[in-house]
Amino acid sequence: MTSNQPPLWRRAVAELVGTSLLVMIVVGSGIAAQQLSPNDIGLQLLQNSTATVLGLTVLILVFGPVSGAHFNPAVSLVDWILGRRNGTGLTLPELGTYAVAQALGAVSGSVVANAMFEVETSISVKDRATLGHLLGEVVATAGLILLIFTLAATKRGVLAAPAVGAYIGAAYWFTSSTSFANPAVTVGRIFSDTFAGIAPASVPGFVVAQLVGAAAGLGLLLILFPAAARTADDVVLPHDSAKTSS
Amino acid sequence: MTSNQPPLWRRAVAELVGTSLLVMIVVGSGIAAQQLSPNDIGLQLLQNSTATVLGLTVLILVFGPVSGAHFNPAVSLVDWILGRRNGTGLTLPELGTYAVAQALGAVSGSVVANAMFEVETSISVKDRATLGHLLGEVVATAGLILLIFTLAATKRGVLAAPAVGAYIGAAYWFTSSTSFANPAVTVGRIFSDTFAGIAPASVPGFVVAQLVGAAAGLGLLLILFPAAARTADDVVLPHDSAKTSS
Amino acid sequence: MTSNQPPLWRRAVAELVGTSLLVMIVVGSGIAAQQLSPNDIGLQLLQNSTATVLGLTVLILVFGPVSGAHFNPAVSLVDWILGRRNGTGLTLPELGTYAVAQALGAVSGSVVANAMFEVETSISVKDRATLGHLLGEVVATAGLILLIFTLAATKRGVLAAPAVGAYIGAAYWFTSSTSFANPAVTVGRIFSDTFAGIAPASVPGFVVAQLVGAAAGLGLLLILFPAAARTADDVVLPHDSAKTSS
Amino acid sequence: MTSNQPPLWRRAVAELVGTSLLVMIVVGSGIAAQQLSPNDIGLQLLQNSTATVLGLTVLILVFGPVSGAHFNPAVSLVDWILGRRNGTGLTLPELGTYAVAQALGAVSGSVVANAMFEVETSISVKDRATLGHLLGEVVATAGLILLIFTLAATKRGVLAAPAVGAYIGAAYWFTSSTSFANPAVTVGRIFSDTFAGIAPASVPGFVVAQLVGAAAGLGLLLILFPAAARTADDVVLPHDSAKTSS
């Protein structure tokens, strides 16, 4: 953690607004897809995934210099774990703050998406927790963690925005679960009974699978890039431009 | 504003031609989509948004070195507001010139698009001003302003072309209004009674919502990047190459 | 023209093979689209344009260091015109060599595409020369010329690959003619009576419209970037890496 | 081969996991497409190719610094051939190790994809070996080899990730065979009787065509870039960041 990092309250705002916009993108484009292409679920998913690739890339560009653009408690958790080894990364209280901001943001994103499309906010009834989907979440989250922290470990944090966007866009399709890969977003998606929704009963299984995937991704990272633990702070502040925000 | 900026008349030409091409892309690809995929509105929007992502990115690359590639009075307005704080950015007469050029360009873009597709130029009858859509315009414009001026504030203006293209591509889908987010383009789209058209009665509401969104985006920018006001001139001249155009 | 440029025969091979692959991409993906999505012409065009965006970008990356990756007599012609002003760019004999290589490549690309899809090579019967389509070709070619030589004039030739790919991808949709914008490719597309084909009777009109568009694009370039004439050689050899090819 | 390259066992892990994820992407997104868009094979291929463009780009970013991210015995073979001329590139035992890791990874990728989608792992019955498809494989592999080693020869290895992703995305469409272009992936795709599967009887023809294509691509490379043989090691270690992984 460098000394010219933005204050925690500002980073929490960035995580909250960024995660809110991320869920707005996922849920909102899902509603649009469902309304405009009612006859082909695959086409709906293509519209949903295309919007997410583009939107997530932009969100990481915008909020990265402030908070690192985690938008995801699994990412913040791994950042904390890696940082403990070498005194960088998030501290435990910061991790807690990030996670709360992400969860609040995620829920608000669903609510605003519903309002934009004049759909009532209600609890999703879409059961998603099959064995295949849980395996999908393990794979999706492992890949996401491996990607983000590989880029940090190899000093390529500047590529995180398009790379994470592209990864999620692929994972929508190659994992059976359409790649939630994010506990906060999973919780936020409870609050829209539309294309991207998830029933509350499916959430615990998804979150556990995501944590297992995060652990697997972290293990693979340490096998492939043993130096990763020494460079974790690159995730939080991926480029010099962050200095202009203080 | 640097001293080696192109003269105002040349910048006005760039804003006029660039905005004309932008509306040509939005309206023209909308007509093509409607004609070629008559049975699925979502597929039409996917074709329309894909063409816009690619085309808008290119337009910003081409016209950015001359005029900053605003193509949007809301962007020029915020540039003027931010510039007043530190003596950079557009002056008020320049703002007026930009806005007039953008509006003329937008209308001409609709007319040329209609001509290419041999569709008569007529006033759109597509009512769009619902409460949900107005909220959509607020969100869309807030995000656009936050993105553009964040990139300027963090010295990443070179990323504006692909990032703004990607943002609009996502916002076509995640906002209910398909993200006009631009008063000049909104006016231009009156003049084509096709996929991308908008009825005149819906325009005032859309423009007001866009201005509210611009204010919200500016507010969020100043919370996240307090240094933004000191770097606004990067928007007008995003890279050194501009010097070759004088 | 720098002294460490590859010999003309090698540049001609690059133009021939590159243009052949370009037409293979356009014609081949058109046949695939027609066979796999028979019920929606718009979806066919989306598949065709998506393949072209990706493929053309790659071709410019590969052949750019050798020949400048023109693949288009209109581009070579403008390069020659701009170069005459300052002694750079193609010479007249080189222009002739480029154009012949491009035309031969284009025809061969159609033939190979037909062979891959086991479609007989025959002359297209698809009439395309309407007034609207001719206007489309003027707009499409003007934009292409403006883009390519703006990037050269502003020392951003390294962006040509993704930018030209993106431009053509947008122009497939926003021009009514699906943006041929290239006399050699237009001739090549005669030789496949499939999705991307064009009847011989439509070719002269298209080529004239393309030349008019090239002139319009050149005029606009000189208005916006008066310095363009002094930097045209950047188009032929867009980056230093070309030196490794000698 | 530089002295600070990762040990062979770690590079083999990277090739195995990377190739496994590549096949997971190809096969998994194929299954998703087939299930979600049952009525349009072209739309299925668009979903499949879009996921592959995005996913393959990310995989090369992640595994490139460790092993060079070949994921393809044809690429490793050409790397060895080029390296023999100048004492760089893979050695013969390394080539064998890479190929075995790639094949094991490819098979495991099919198995995991099947498991995620709760589809039984079984041998594909999809015959693909027509004359047109074999010509498609020759073209596809020639283009791939030319692209990868051109980027290396011109010191642009950093572009390999998006460029190879884009190339394969185009080649899905412009070659009749949907561009396998990879012997290991071809073998892996035997083990899923779904959209992306291939019957064992078609595999030998495909692999022979791929080797012929690799030879053609290598020949074209040496015509266009005679210096290529001296720079082959750039493929294995495309950027300095690899040093952080040791």
Give tens-digit pLDDT for B2-54. 457 899 999 999 999 999 999 999 999 999 999 999 999 999 999 999 999 99
Q: What is the pLDDT of residue A229?
A: 65
Q: Could you tell me which residue, C232 or C171, shows the higher pLDDT? A: C171
No. of helices (H) and no. of strands (E), chain D: 9, 0
Residues 6+ apart with CB under 8 A from A160: A60, A64, A69, A148, A151, A152, A235, A238
A169 lies within 8 A of chain D by CB: yes
Strands (E) located in D82-193: none
Q: What is the pTM of this model?
A: 0.94
CATH architecture for residues A8-230? Up-down Bundle (1.20)
Mutate which of B37, B146, B174, B195 to test chain A, going by most A C-beta atoms within 10 A? B174
C66 lies within 8 A of chain D by CB: yes
Q: What is the pLDDT of residue B231?
A: 55
The mean pLDDT value for A206-215 works out to 98
D244 and A225: CB-CB below 8 Å? yes
By mean pLDDT, which of A100-114, C178-192, D82-96, D160-174 is the weakest?
Answer: D82-96
Spell out which residues of chain C touch residue B60, defining contact as CB-CB under 8 Å.
none
The mean pLDDT value for C151-173 works out to 97
Of A40, A176, A227, the CB nearest to D37: A40
B166 lies within 8 A of chain C by CB: no
D241 and A171: CB-CB below 8 Å? no
Q: What is the pLDDT of residue B96?
A: 98
Q: What is the pLDDT of residue C156?
A: 97
Q: Which amino acid would we find at residue D92?
A: L
Instruction: Decide if B29 contacts B52 (C-beta within 8 A).
Output: yes
Q: What is the pLDDT of residue C245?
A: 34
Within 13 Å of residue A41, how many CA atoms lie on the same side as its CB? Answer: 11
C28 and D176: CB-CB below 8 Å? yes
| HEC profile of A84-145 | HHHCCCCCHHHHHHHHHHHHHHHHHHHHHHHHHCCCCCCCCCCCCCCHHHHHHHHHHHHHHH
Q: What is the pLDDT of residue D229?
A: 65
The mean pLDDT value for A218-236 works out to 76
By mean pLDDT, which of A48-57, B29-38, C138-147, C227-236 is the weakest?
Answer: C227-236
Of D131, D154, D171, the CB nearest to C241: D154
ipTM for the complex? 0.93
Q: What is the pLDDT of residue B239?
A: 40
Q: Give dist(CA D135, CA D64) in Å, integer.
A: 30
Pull the structure tokens for residue B58: 């290119």
C46 lies within 8 A of chain B by CB: yes
Percent of chain C with pLDDT over 70: 91
pLDDT in tens, C22-51: 999 999 999 999 999 999 999 999 999 999
> Domain spanning C8-227: which superfamily?
Glycerol uptake facilitator protein. (1.20.1080.10)
D4 lies within 8 A of chain A by CB: no
Pull the structure tokens for residue C223: 């208005």
DSSP state at residue C3: T
C101 lies within 8 A of chain D by CB: no
Q: What is the pLDDT of residue D17?
A: 98
Residues 6+ apart with CB under 8 A from C81: C89, C218
Spell out which residues of chain B touch residue A44, defining contact as CB-CB under 8 Å.
42
Closest CA to C166 of C185, C148, C153, C150: C148
Q: How confident is the model at residue C2 (pLDDT cuts 50, 70, 90)?
A: very low
Residues 6+ apart with CB under 8 A from C87: none
A42 and D36: CB-CB below 8 Å? yes
Over its length of 246 residues, how does chain B's per-residue pLDDT go in tens digits? 445 789 999 999 999 999 999 999 999 999 999 999 999 999 999 999 999 999 999 999 999 999 999 999 999 999 999 988 777 789 999 999 999 999 999 999 999 999 999 999 999 999 999 999 999 999 999 999 999 999 999 999 999 999 999 999 999 999 999 999 999 999 999 999 999 999 999 999 999 999 999 999 999 999 999 987 665 444 544 443 333 332
Mean pLDDT per 10-residue section of chain D, whose length is 246 residues = 78 98 98 98 98 98 98 98 83 97 98 98 97 98 98 96 98 98 98 98 98 98 86 46 33
Q: Give dist(CA C109, CA D130) in Å, integer.
A: 20
Of A133, A146, A174, the CB nearest to D55: A174
> Domain spanning B8-238: which superfamily?
Glycerol uptake facilitator protein. (1.20.1080.10)
DSSP state at residue A6: P
What does the CA dihedral D193, D199, D200, D202 come to, rounded to 10 degrees?
A: -150
Provide the terminal-to-terminal Cα distance of chain A, rounded to the nearest Å: 14
D45 lies within 8 A of chain C by CB: yes
- At D224 the three-state DSSP class reads helix
Provide the terminal-to-terminal Cα distance of chain B, rounded to the nearest Å: 14
Q: What is the pLDDT of residue D231?
A: 55
Q: What is the pLDDT of residue A88?
A: 77
D63 lies within 8 A of chain A by CB: yes
Of A14, A36, A244, the CB nearest to B227: A244
All structural domains of chain D with their residue ranges: 8-237
Of C136, C156, C166, the CB nearest to B241: C156
CATH architecture for residues D8-237? Up-down Bundle (1.20)
Q: Give dist(CA C14, CA A22) in Å, integer.
A: 44
A123: pLDDT strictly greater than 60: yes
Pull the structure tokens for residue D230: 């001296």
d(CA B88, nearest CA chain C) in Å: 23
